[in-house]
Amino acid sequence: MSTSGSENHTNYLNDGYGVKSWLLTTDHKRIAILYMISITLFFMIGGFFALVIRLTLLSPNGTLVSADTYNKMFTMHGVTMIFFFLIPSIPAVLGNFLVPMMIGARDLAFPKLNLLSWYIYVLGGIFTLSAMVLGGVDTGWTFYTPLSSGYSHTNVVPTVIGVFIVGFSSILTGLNFIVTIHKMRAPGLTWFRLPLFIWAHYATSVIQVLGTPVIAVTLALVGFERITGVGIFDPNIGGDPILFQHLFWFYSHPAVYIMVLPSMGIVSEVVTCFSQRKLFGYRQMAFASMAIAVFGFLVWGHHMFVSGQSVYAGMAFSALSFLVAIPSAVKVFNWTATLYKGTIRFNTPMLYAFGFIGLFTIGGLTGIVLATLPVDVHVHDTYFVIAHFHYIMVGGAVMGYMAGLHFWWPKITGKLYPEGLAKFSALTLFVGFNLTFFPQFILGYLGMPRRYHIYPPEFQVLNVLSTAGASILGLGYIIPFFYFMWSLRKGKVAGNNPWNAKGLEWLTTSPPPTFNFDKTPVVTEEAYAYPEEDLVGG
């Protein structure tokens, strides 16, 4: 703590100022910042599409935009948010910044590859953005054949090329993490002393490395079919469009865990710090992360319960989907138990972590509803599904990202944000989120199908509620953007460890020096070794 406040210590931010020093950097922390800026940009673009969607749905007649425009809006909302925001969000920003620091390394194992992954991301982004600018794409982010391969008249090829390319950025990030976590841990940092954040990123990386190539080749086949006019998914020559769905979901279901596992890692860090308490059931938590990654690969068929796959395949996928819920439940129980007899502070990151736990619980349990075959038949492709996966992806993944951003912002920038305003916006987000998406559960069970820009009038009230919620939600995202910017110049100096947190990243200065540690730390204790003493009660 003694070195805190020194404005002049050399750190990664003042180690070179030119554009070149940023664009050619191999420092994982600077690359994390590059990623942060890029994904924020894509988040804003995706958010704009969401805005148009919600505004259109204010009226059952869909008068705001034409059917084609609306279809492009939800497609591009999905493509940007999933491939260009959610998947890279935590791993490429916070993971990139923190994985080496948390394990006491000077950098990732392959710093140049790390920079390359950012350039690949940008290249993929350029393809996809140009597809959007040139008129957009309207296949749905799922690119189901034969609609995408033979019937859509929009820019499918540049979009799938963009997604194909950005996949390799994700693969390289995952590969880098796997090697770094395996080979570059500080002396004394055994596997079961690793913070859960690292476990979560390890599990995530496995999915990225093993899952992403499958969607890459699948989309390549769709691109082939569009360019040549024939393809293996074309039913006219005996091809099977359902095979596309199998290959697509083989990646795209585990991709959900790419989004949510790192968030779970963040919640473990935040909950322990703000309870000043060791994580309850550390080993079970670590195993649960790996179990989610492994089982996550075996449940893709639950996206296809009404696709005409065999009844027995449906049952097998249903059973496996129930199984994957168990480790998630174990995690929620363990976080709750960590609070027991802790010393709890309600700082902003903790509020977001609470938000995560609550919303993820609802999202996860409604996932059980979707795994239940007959009920899924009714709610499949309705707003129930939309609500469910937004609870997981926004309520889970994004809440976790916000928790992490607030938790490590002082470390990343060396500055504190205004706590009161941050708490207010966390609350706004929570309220706005629920108002947006809870009505969609009801809409879904009533039978409102997804991807409809006009709908029967009896669904209007719930849709208006949802749009109202979305405006509050939007506010909840805009406020942090401004106070984070503000804090860069005017924020209070944070000090090395403003939260009194455990973990190697808090031992070094804020912002950290270019090589993270002046001396490689030696680890002698388990993760989250908060003092187990009776602070007040005695």
Partner 1 sequence: MFNIPFFPTEASTTASRIDLLFFALMGIIMLFTALIFVGVIFFSIRYRRGSRASRKGATSENLKLELAWTIIPLCITMGIFIWASKLYFDMHVPPKNAMDVYVVGKQWMWYIQHPEGNREINTLHVPLGKPVRLIMTSQDVIHDFFIPAFRVKQDVIPGRYTTEWFQATKLGEYHLFCAQYCGTGHAQMVGKVIVMQPWEYEQWLAGKSSGVTMSSSGEQLFTQFGCVTCHRSDNTGRGPTLVGLFGKKVLLQTGQTVVADMDYIRESILDPRAKVVATYQPIMPTFKSQIDQAQLMQLIEYVKSLGGSQSASKGNKK
Partner 2 sequence: MDNEQLTHETRSFVAHQFDDLEQQKEAGTLGMWAFLATEILFFGGMFMAYLVYRFSYPQVFAAASQYMDVVLGGVNTGVLLVSSLTMALAVHAAQEGNRKQIITFLIITMIFGAIFLVIKGVEYHHKFVEHLVPGYNFQYEGAEPGKSEIYFILYFVMTGFHALHLIIGIVVLTVIAIMTARGRFTKEYYTPVEISGLYWHFIDIVWIFLYPLLYLIHVHK
Tell me if 290 contacts partner 2 by CB under 8 A: no
Q: Which residues, other chains included, contact 228 with Cβ-Cβ below 8 Å and sequence gap of 6+?
A: none
Q: 172 vs 25, 109, 124, 167, 410, CA distance in Å?
A: 17, 11, 14, 9, 28
| C-beta separation of 111 from 26 below 8 A | yes
Length of the chain: 538
Nearer of residues 2 and 190 to partner 1, judged by Cβ: 190
Residue 290's binding partner out of partner 2, partner 1, none, with CB under 5 to 8 Å set by partner kind: none
Min dist. Cβ of residue 209 to partner 2 (A): 5
Site string for partner 2, 152-181 (x = CB under 8 A): -------------------x--xxx-xxx-
Stretch binding partner 2 (CB under 8 A), from 48-56, 204-212, 392-400, 458-466: 204-212
Helix 28-56 to helix 111-133 angle (10° resolution) is: 20
> Between residue 97 and residue 126, which ones bind partner 2 under the rule CB under 8 A?
100, 105-111
Min dist. Cβ of residue 529 to partner 1 (A): 10
Query: What type of residue is 107?
Result: D
Query: Across-strand partners of 493?
Result: 415
Site string for partner 2, 425-464 (x = CB under 8 A): ----------------------------------------
d(CA 449, CA 380): 8
Tell me if 218 contacts partner 2 by CB under 8 A: yes
Q: Which residues, other chains included, contact 457 with Cβ-Cβ below 8 Å and sequence gap of 6+?
A: 60
Min dist. Cβ of residue 231 to partner 2 (A): 6
Min dist. Cβ of residue 487 to partner 1 (A): 24
Between vectors from CA 251 to CA 451 and to CA 113, what angle results, nearest 5°?
Answer: 120
d(CA 237, CA 220): 19
Can you read off the two tokens belonging to residue 320?
A: 């496996």
| C-beta separation of 180 from 103 below 8 A | yes
Q: 459 vs 53, 428, 432, 454, 456, CA distance in Å?
A: 15, 25, 20, 10, 6
Tell me if 211 contacts partner 2 by CB under 8 A: yes
Among 520, 522, 524, 532, binds partner 2 (CB under 8 A): 520
d(CA 42, CA 23): 19
Min dist. Cβ of residue 65 to partner 1 (A): 12
Nearer of residues 181 and 267 to partner 2, judged by Cβ: 181
Tell me if 247 contacts partner 2 by CB under 8 A: yes
Nearer of residues 220 and 535 to partner 2, judged by Cβ: 220
Residue 346's binding partner out of partner 2, partner 1, none, with CB under 5 to 8 Å set by partner kind: partner 1
Task: List interacting residues with partner 2 (CB under 8 A).
Answer: 100, 105-111, 171, 174-176, 178-180, 182-184, 209-214, 216-218, 220-221, 224, 227-232, 236-240, 243, 246-247, 250, 515, 520
